[in-house]
Amino acid sequence: MAAEQALSRRSLLKGAAAGTGAILASGCTITGTTPPQAASVTRCMLPPVRVSEGRRIRSVVGLRPYRRAGFRVERETLGDKALIHNYGHGGGGITLSWGSSRLAIDLGLHGHDGPAAVIGSGIMGLTTAWLLIEQGVPVTIYTKALPPMTTSNIAGGEWYPSIVYSSNAMTPAFERQFVAASEYSYRRFQIMAGERYGVHWHDLYSLSNRPSRTGNTAALLAHILPEAEILDPGQHPFAQPYARRIPEMFIEPPVFLRELLEDIRVAGGNVVVRDFATAGDIAALPENTIFNCTGLGARALFGDEELIPVRGQLEILLPQPEIDYAMKGPGGAYMFPRSDGIVCGGSTDYRNWSTEPDPQLGAAILVNHADIFDAMPCRNAEA
C-alpha cells in the first residue's frame, strides 16, 4: 500500500517536473531565469540516493535515553563510594559524548585515588574510560553488552545534539552544562577526523517547503558552528524551495566504538562482562569511584522515572560511495552516507519500548526519501 503510494507520488512528481522545464541532452532540467549552463551544473551537482525496497539491506531500531530536563552529569554517594552519573543524552549522545564525559570525570576525579570503574560500554562509557586513562587512572569497564550490541552502535552519527531536552524544562544550570559539553565534544571530534575513527565532514543540505526558524539548540551553539549558507532554488539540486547548506561532522558509530574500545584495551583498560541487577551490586565493586554510563539502563538501576525511551527506526540502503553529502528534509526525513550503507531516518516515538522494526514504518521512511531523491530534476531527467 505504502509502496503503491510512493509510485504514484513519484510519477506525479516526474510529470510535474517534465511539464515545467526543458530537458537538456545532458539529462538536466533548467527552470526560471538562471543561465542555462549554471543551472545544469547546479541541478546535477549532487548524485541522487537510489531509494527502493530492493536496495534496503537492514532495518534497525534503537531507544534514545531521553530526559526532558536533559542529561544527568551528577555526583552522589553510593554506600562509601563516589558515584558519578553520565547518562540520559537522548538523540545526542554521540555528539555530546566527549564533553559530557569530560564534565563527569572533572566531578569524579576530585579527591580520587586508585582505580576507577565505568559501568557501560556505549559511547559514554568508552569516552569516560579513555579520558580516565589519559589522566593516568587505571580503569575497569563493567558492562552487560559490548559494541556492537549497544544503542550507540545504532545511532546515525550526525554531530548535532537533537532530541536532548525540552526547552520548557531547561534550567540555566543545564544550559551551561549543555553548551560546555557541546564545545568540548566539537573540538575533540575534529582532532579525530579521518578514516581510522570513521569521522568525516560532509555538507548537510537542510530542505523545507516553508521557511524555517532558528531553533533553541542552533542559537545556543551558533558560536561554535559554521554559519549556514542560505541557498536560492537555482543554487541547489533539490525540488524543495528552501535549502540551507551547513558543513557538519558525521561519526560512523560502528567504526568509532570499535576503535576506541581497541585503544582502551591497548592502553591497559580492563573489560568485564557483567549485568548488574541493582545499585547495591554496583556498590559492592572494589573501586571507590564509579561512573554510571548505563544509558537507558539507569532507569531500572537507579529508579530515574524521568528517563524514558524515544524509539527511533532507521532503514539502511546499500552503500553508494559517490554520495558525499547529507540531507535533512520534510517529514523528519534524514540521510547520512556511511561506509556500511546509506542511513535513512527517522522516526521519533516517545515512551515506546519496542526494539522490533516496524515494516509499515520502514516502508513510510523509504517513501519519504524516494519523494525527495526521485524529485531531484537530474534524477527525473535520467530515469
Q: What's the chain's Rg over C-alpha atoms? A: 23
The distance of closest approach from Cβ of residue 60 to ligand FAD in the complex, given in angstroms and rounded to an integer, is 7
Site membership for ligand FAD, residue 91 (CB under 6 A): yes
Select 44 or 344, whichever has its Cβ closest to ligand FAD: 344
145, 193, 218, 225: residue in contact with ligand FAD (rule CB under 6 A): 145
- 3-class SS of residue 39: helix
Give which of 348, 334, 16, 340 is closest to 206, Cα–Cα.
334
104-107 contact pairs (CB < 8 A, 24+): 104/73, 104/128, 104/291, 105/131, 105/132, 105/135, 105/291, 107/73, 107/74, 107/75
Least distance CB 248 / ligand FAD (angstroms)? 10
Q: Which of 105, 133, 155, 344 binds ligand FAD (CB under 6 A)?
A: 155
Cis peptide before 161 (omega within 30 of 0): no
Please choose, out of 16-24, 25-33, 82-90, 353-361, the segment that lies near ligand FAD by the rule CB under 6 A.
82-90
Nearer to ligand FAD, 117 or 370 (CB): 117
Say whether residue 108 binds ligand FAD (CB under 6 A): no
Kindly tell me which residue out of 151, 206, 240, 368 binds ligand FAD, with binding defined by CB under 6 A.
Answer: 151
Alpha carbon of 211 to those of 34, 43, 233, 240, 241: distances in Å? 22, 21, 13, 11, 9
Among 21, 48, 70, 93, interactor with ligand FAD by CB under 6 A: 93
Q: Does 185 bind ligand FAD (CB under 6 A)?
A: no
Q: Which of 67, 89, 112, 200 binds ligand FAD (CB under 6 A)?
A: 89
Residue numbers 294-333 binding ligand FAD by CB under 6 A: 294-297, 301, 312, 314
**Within 13 A of 330's CA, how many CA atoms are on the CB side?**
17
Candidate residues 21, 108, 120, 337; the one interacting with ligand FAD per rule CB under 6 A = 120
Q: Which residue from 276, 291, 302, 373 is in contact with ligand FAD, where contact means CB under 6 A?
A: 276
Distance (Å, whole) CA 336 – CA 153? 15
Q: What minimum distance in Å lies between the beta carbon of 134 and ligand FAD?
A: 18
Burial of 102 (0-12, 13-18, 19+ CB in 10 A): buried
Reading the block at residue 152, the C-alpha cell is 550507540
| # chain residues binding ligand FAD, by CB under 6 A | 39
Least distance from C-beta 34 to ligand FAD, angstroms?
A: 34
Q: Which stretch binds ligand FAD (CB under 6 A): 3-11, 149-157, 226-234, 262-270?
A: 149-157
CA geometry: angle 231, 232, 237, nearest 5 deg: 80
Task: Return d(Cα 252, Cα 100) in angstroms, integer.
Answer: 19
The sign one gets for the Cα dihedral 86, 92, 93, 98 is negative
Figure out which of the listed residues 156, 237, 362, 377 binds ligand FAD, where binding follows CB under 6 A: 156
Q: Does 261 bind ligand FAD (CB under 6 A)?
A: no
C-alpha cell at 149: 550490541
3-state secondary structure (DSSP) of residue 294: coil
- β-partners of residue 22 are 30
Q: Does residue number 150 form part of the binding site for ligand FAD (CB under 6 A)?
A: yes
Stretch that binds ligand FAD, among 93-101, 108-116, 323-331, 372-380 (CB under 6 A): 93-101
For residue 237, state whether it binds ligand FAD (rule: CB under 6 A): no
Contact residue for ligand FAD among 158, 248, 287, 315 (CB under 6 A):
158
CA distances from 144 to 77, 136, 149, 284 (A): 23, 25, 9, 17
- The site for ligand FAD (CB under 6 A) is made up of 62, 64-65, 87, 89-95, 119-125, 143-145, 150-152, 154-158, 275-276, 293-297, 301, 312, 314
